Amino acid sequence: MVTSELSNHHHHHHNTINSPMGKPNSRSKTSSIFLSDGCLFLGGAFSTLILIWGFSSFTTFPKDTLNLEHLSQTDAASPRAPDLTFDPPDKTFFDDPQMGYTLDKKVRNWDEKRAEWLKLHPSFSDGAKERVLMITGSQPEPCRNPIGDHLLLRFFKNKVDYCRLHGYDILYNNLLLDPKMFAYWAKYPVLRAAMMAHPEAEWIWWVDSDALFTDMEFKLPLERYKGHNLVVHGWPHLIHEKRSWTGLNAGVFLIRNCQWSLDLMDSWASMGPQTPNYEKWGKTLRSTFKDKFFPESDDQTGLAYLIAIEKEKWADRIYLENEYYFQGYWKEIVGTFQNISERYKEMEEGVRRLRRRHAEKVSESYGEIREEYLKDAGIGQGNWRRPFITHFTGCQPCSGKYNAMYSADDCWNGMHKALNFADNQVLRNYGFLRPDLLLNSVSPVPFDYPHPWHHHHDDDHHHPR
């Protein structure tokens, strides 16, 4: 893909550091996403209330039947769905000829401009602070690896699944919007354009094409980041003291759609290949971060530079996340899938609520129920919580090249296992499971799976093995 395929030395992981999974310290309870979708197929004034009622009663399962007439009376209190058909004639930044989508068009007062747009589009105000747009992408040309495009499709499918489950929008880009900004630099023109195209989105979430969600239930703990504008996986001491270019990973990050971020991207992109200072920056970055072994200026070391050297200007608003796998090194993760699957199955054998069939649309609430049973999953190496994002750093699915420290089988088997591990969590809502993470055959899931008694009734229940 654009970001890592064109460079084999991007996103190296620091092996000596545990990157433990932590419990998200808050889970957003906004329900507007569900409500908006619910309205579409239930219809009528009471539909949103049925869903609200449903949400608040997951743990109680009341026996009373619904009284729809009664419920409809409080409908006015329910959040509105974004109105996709309404764009008033009032002038916004979109009507300003000085404004542009490209990085060279300097933006001022973006926070005010966004706020004005939101004011003119009030149906977007519910949940505006938690609205996330995911962006990913790959190169403009077909992959050289014969199965590269297939792998990219599956990596993308995984992100689409995750976004559908959590009500996020997703954008895929496979063009160099600025032809000079190649490789890992290609994401910045996209981010810049997307921020303007999506004033309704508070956060833009870049996820590399070689990274995938291996916990489809986990949600970003956005509450934790409310005082920050950029979230990236990293470790402060490795950046500030050790001056290591792998003190953070720029393959996955969350950036707030605000003026600060536009300013940061200006500084960040000023180290890129589209500028006359590209070579000079290569030297500067290499002399600052001694373990950087290639001469070209890259975005990951560039960000480390801004954090370490332009500390006063940026570091306060950058959250270096290392309490859970905001992104995790695949090498330390893929060997744990088997054990994790078994632990989750045991958990579900013991907890009827977690085995309950449900509509995919309400699956987020089951993730919340599960939190209670993940308290002793542990943090640190050897924990058995599903890792949130697994990043195939150094494997390059599209080009087929891979870092010499791995074998081809490590990379491809690792990817298939991770993709299937994640896909099993999605398939479950459709009544199927892959019994073997390296095979594509599926088994139907019996009712109440994995009820412990089913072990003795395999003949009756087509129990996946």
364 binds Mn ion (CB under 5 A): no
Of 144-152, 181-189, 210-218, 357-365, the window that binds Mn ion (rule: CB under 5 A) is: 210-218
296 interacts with Mn ion by CB under 5 A: no
Q: Does 130 bind Mn ion (CB under 5 A)?
A: no
The Cβ of residue 321 has, within 10 Å, a number of other Cβ atoms equal to 24
Instruction: Quickly tell me which residue has 């999605």 as its tokens.
Output: 426
Candidate segments 39-47, 251-259, 300-308, 377-385, binder of Mn ion by CB under 5 A:
251-259
Binding string, residues 150-189; x marks residues near Mn ion by CB under 5 A: ----------------------------------------
Instruction: Count interface residues toward Mn ion (CB under 5 A).
Output: 5
- β strands within 235-335, DSSP E: 248-256, 318-321, 328-329
Residue whose CB is less far from Mn ion, 167 or 251: 251
Structure tokens at 99: 């404004």
CB of 44 to Mn ion, least distance (A): 46
Specify the amino acid at residue 354: L
What are the φ/ψ torsions at residue 234 (nearest 5 degrees)?
Answer: -175, 175
Other beta carbons within 10 angstroms of residue 332's beta carbon come to 17
Residue number, 327 or 424, with CB nearest to Mn ion: 327
Distance of alpha carbon 432 from its chain centroid, rounded? Answer: 24
CB nearer Mn ion, residue 124 or residue 402: 402
User: Which CB sits closer to Mn ion, 208 or 348?
Assistant: 208
**Ordered DSSP codes for 147-160:** THHHHHHHHHHHHH
Pick the closer one to Mn ion by CB: 244 or 327: 327
- Contact between 210 and Mn ion per CB under 5 A: yes
By C-beta, is 24 or 328 nearer to Mn ion? 328
Which residues, 57 to 96, sit near Mn ion by CB under 5 A?
A: none
Q: Least distance (Å) from Mn ion to the CB of residue 4?
A: 4
Judged by CB, which is closer to Mn ion: 34, or 253? 253
CB of 93 vs Mn ion, minimal distance in Å? 33
Compute the least distance from the CB of residue 151 to Mn ion, in Å. Answer: 13
DSSP states of 330-359 as a string? HHHHGGGHHHHHHHHHHHHHH-HHHH----
> Bridge-partner residues for 134, per DSSP?
170, 205
Q: What is the rounded distance in angstroms from the CA atom of residue 129 to the CA atom of residue 125?
A: 8
Which residue stretch of 137-145, 182-190, 250-258, 270-278 sits at the interface with Mn ion (rule: CB under 5 A)?
A: 250-258
Q: Which residues contact 109 (CB under 8 A, 6 or more apart)?
A: 259
> CB 289 → Mn ion: shortest distance, Å?
19
Nearer Cβ to Mn ion (161/210):
210
Contact 249, 329 (CB under 8 A): no
Among positions 2-41, residues that touch Mn ion (CB under 5 A) are: 4, 11
Residue whose entry in the numeric block shows the structure tokens 């004011």: 119
Quick check: 251 binds Mn ion (CB under 5 A)?
yes
CB of 327: closest distance to Mn ion in angstroms?
8
Relative orientation angle of helices 408-427 and 337-350, to the nearest 10 degrees: 20
Two structure tokens written together for 200: 């309704």
DSSP 194-226: HHHH-TT-SEEEEE-TTEEES-SS----GGGGT
d(CA 451, CA 464): 12
299 binds Mn ion (CB under 5 A): no
Tell me which stretch binds Mn ion (CB under 5 A): 44-52, 183-191, 243-251, 272-280: 243-251
**Binding to Mn ion by residue 208, rule CB under 5 A?**
yes
| CA nearest neighbour of 190 among 167, 208, 173, 207 | 173
164 SS3 class: helix
How crowded is residue 256: how many other Cβ atoms within 10 Å of its Cβ?
21
Task: Tell me the window of 127-135, 203-211, 333-341, 420-428 that interacts with Mn ion (CB under 5 A).
Answer: 203-211
Question: Given the complex with Mn ion, which of 4 and 429 has the nearer CB atom?
Answer: 4
A 10 A CB-CB count for 213 gives 25
- Closest to Mn ion by CB, 49 or 395: 395
- Whole-angstrom Cα distance, residue 145 to residue 272? 27
What is the smallest separation between the CB atom of 139 and Mn ion, expressed in angstroms?
13
Instruction: Tell me whether residue 10 or residue 219 sits nearer to Mn ion (CB atom).
Output: 10
CB of residue 307 vs Mn ion: minimum separation in angstroms?
19
DSSP label at residue 372: G
Q: Which is nearer to Mn ion, 235 or 329 (CB)?
A: 329
Count of C-beta atoms within a 10 Å radius of residue 184: 25
CB of 415 to Mn ion, least distance (A): 12
The C-alpha atoms of residue 192 and residue 258 are separated, in whole angstroms, by 11
User: Where along the sequence are the contacts to Mn ion (CB under 5 A)?
Assistant: 4, 11, 208, 210, 251
